[in-house]
Structure 1
């Protein structure tokens, strides 16, 4: 199994980590009972809940691109050092991005996001050219 496909499989754990963090912070902010309601009259979330929501949303925005590129790499048989590095960079940067979203260090989160984008770019170049 290629590195890209292996990381695609393990990215399910990564997605689960984002969901777990977001849902846990949500329940700590609003309460378990509120989480079980239709949430029609929901107050503004606190700072941490907002960050958890944005981190999850940002992850999901790039996750589909990673899935498409990893599958395209596997199906085309174009796995090489470029695509392997790209997949690993994206995967590990996305792990780093989750805690970076909650740390108040200027440009840390954006820098980690940029590194993950480089990983996607390498994957794209490797499979497309």
Structure 2
């Protein structure tokens, strides 16, 4: 399998894992009846719970940028060593970002986010050469 596709699948797996953590947290803290309901009347999340929710939203945004660029490169047969490395950098940085964001470490979180952007640019570079 092509590295870029594997990294996209890995990003999807990370999103699934974070969502399962989020859902489990909801059941534990809210109880199954509330967690299974519409959750309109619950208090806003705070602390690591809020950061987890924001890390998940941020990952969704990153995948929404990464996926079409990676699929264009793959579909056009422009994959190369740089795009493969960029995809790997993207996935590793997103794992670090999710963990650090949930733990609440601001500057490292920003560095991980920026590193992910560099990975996306590397993946998309073959489209412009």
Q: Does the alignment pair 1:108 with 2:108?
A: yes
Instruction: State the shift of 1:15 in Å.
Output: 1.7
CA distance in 2 between counterparts of 1:7 and 1:114 reads 17
| Residue in structure 1 matched with residue 89 of structure 2 by the alignment | 89
The unaligned stretches of length 5 or more in structure 1 are none
Whether 1:22 and 2:33 are equivalent positions in the alignment is: no
Shift of 1:87: 0.4
**Mapping for residues 13-92 of structure 1, pairs under 5 Å:** 13-92=13-92
Name the CA shift for 1:24/1:119 in 2 (closer, same or farther; >3 Å).
same
Shift of 1:93: 0.9
- Structure 2 CA distance, aligned partners of 1:40 and 1:104? 26
> Contact 1:55/1:101 (CA < 8 Å) preserved in 2?
yes
CA distance in 1, matches of 2:126, 2:18: 28
Please tell me the root mean square deviation across aligned C-alpha atoms, in Å.
1.6
TM-score, normalising length: structure 2: 0.88
Gaps of 5+ in 2: none
Q: Residues 50-84 of structure 1, C-alpha deviation per residue, up to 9 Å, x if partnerless?
A: 11110000000010111112211111111112111
TM-score by length of 1: 0.88
How many Å apart are 1:107 and its aligned residue?
0.4
Work out whether residues 18 and 56 of structure 1, in 8 Å CA contact, stay in contact via their aligned partners in 2.
yes
